[in-house]
Chains A and B, each alone.
Chain A
Amino acid sequence: MSAIGNAIRQSLAILKGMGVTLRHILREPRVTIQYPEERPKQSFRYRGIHQLRLDENGKELCVGCNLCGLVCPSECIYVEGAETDAPEEARVSRYERYALVYVINAARCLYCGYCVEACPTDALAMTPQFELGEYQKRNCIYDKEDLVRNHRRWADQAGYGIEWCNPAKLEEWTGDAKPVGPPSHPAVEP
């Protein structure tokens, strides 16, 4: 008798399962994003490709300290620091120290964001840019120029390390969430 009861219960379970699928077929909203036409909504701390920020005078903030390179788990950042005695107007950087060479290998980068955390001058931040496909591996290597270009393009977008540098946009980006700690360099319009 219990065998028959089991059989009935199991058959009903199948019907119940089919009911669930039918409900999904009829009512469930589609979660698919039609990617190239539609863009996914990213989190305000999204970790895309890096940017090297500039200050309000268009001067680089990076001091070439290589803390980012040291902390990088995949060792994909190469920094060559240099110093200059030139007056402030003639310098590329806001400081006497600046980065002569700054290279990130995006093919090795795992987008952990430690470099952004490590940066003492908040010069390094990340962008929401995730479309990094390349046909050649060498195109995945970003030099300083590329990274500054990233800043010019993405500075008004949220991204890891930059979200609280733009107090005007904070509300739009974060909603309720309040970022921790003040920025050492507030954001500037690109």
Chain B
Amino acid sequence: MEYLIMTIKAVVVFAVVAGSMPFIVWAERKVMADAQARIGPNRVGPYGILQSFADALKLMFKEDVTPRQVDKPIYFLAPVLAMIPALTAFAVVPYGSPEVTVYGVPIFYVTDPKQVGVLWVFAVTTLSVYGVVLAGWASNNKWSLLGALRSAAQMISYEVALGLAILGVVLGSGSLSLIDIVEKQAVPRAFGIPGIWLFAQPVAFLLFFTASLAETNRTPFDLPEAESELVAGFHTEYSSFKFAMFFMAEYINVLTVSAVVATLFLGGWLGPGVGQFPLLGVVYFALKTAALIYLIMWLRATLPRFRYDQLMRFAWKVLLPLGLANVFITALWVGLRGGT
């Protein structure tokens, strides 16, 4: 029974996440258009909101070209591997107050493994590199391979910063469970500052956000696909639905990153009035996630791409020491206060 409920919740979450993907793509195109004095898609549906559906249909019916001399099994596996981790991370994210129950079953999270929690998010995001790396290698194409190599090095470098950033929050909260982490943020700090980790752990927030952008290959860390140098990077040789899967993976990743940052640093479902109306929590969570998605798009409209050496230097010489210092200071603070 427990597993059945979990499965139902997982399917619903999958549907919502996958279903919101076209709208995120549309939103990004609109935001980019805004920043570039253009209008953006406005033909299909009101304000062009159905543009993504039209594009998806087009991609589905396009010819699926498989170049000769690709490594077939891996070539077919890679897009799937790119999509799965992004979706799986949602398993532990609470998107509403756990107090809301239907027939005694809390409906606003799929599962809450107390001993793994945020580590699960971290673990699946580290797996997302395989899709990119294998796609690049299996394509048997110079540009793709270069994209894959960059991606591998980039992911490994930024994982370290990501882990250290999470550690700051986990140390402060004293739990790995995302629900516990959110509930920890409910208590306001001194001078009426909200208890969200954004204010208590600003360094961790910046580290996590930056490293997440790098992990999901978003601008300014989009070196693996760097269209101005590498044609399209790792997905150069992909067409039709397989390309669409990479595309979807990227935007689901954006959604995942935003949801996780909202949970870890912005207090997830917390907000004024949630105590009386627990259903409001979903709205707050959605708003925070949407704001972060907008921030990611805004950054894409603003920042140019890193050069490769800058990328590496930034990871190892800026983010890593900052992360270590943050963990050290947090641990000291937690220790001096005598536990969390």
Contacts and interface: CB of A to CB of B under 8 A. Distances in A.
Interface of A: 7, 14, 17-18, 20-22, 24-25, 28-32, 34
B35 A24 contact: yes
Interface stretch (B107-115, B236-244, B299-307): B299-307
A21 B38 contact: no
Contacts of A22: 298
Chain B, interface size: which category?
Answer: 10 to 19
State the main secondary structure of chain B at its contact with A.
Answer: helix
B34 interface: yes
Interface string B25-36: 000000100111
Interface string B4-18: 000000000000000
State the main secondary structure of chain A at its contact with B.
Answer: helix
Contacts, number: 36
Given A14-B302, A24-B35, A30-B39, 14 more contacts: A14-B303, A17-B302, A17-B303, A18-B302, A20-B302, A24-B37, A25-B31, A25-B35, A25-B298, A28-B34, A28-B37, A31-B37, A31-B38, A32-B38
Nearest to A33: B39
Interface of B: 31, 34-39, 42, 298-299, 301-303, 318
Contacts of A34: 39, 42
Which 10 pairs, one residue from A and one from B, show the smallest C-beta to C-beta distance?
A: A25-B34, A32-B39, A21-B302, A28-B37, A17-B302, A21-B35, A18-B302, A21-B301, A31-B37, A32-B38
Contacts of B301: 21, 25
B85 to A, nearest CB: 28
Nearest to B304: A17
16 contacts: A14-B302, A17-B302, A21-B298, A22-B298, A24-B34, A24-B35, A25-B31, A25-B35, A28-B34, A29-B37, A30-B39, A31-B38, A32-B37, A32-B38, A32-B39, A34-B39
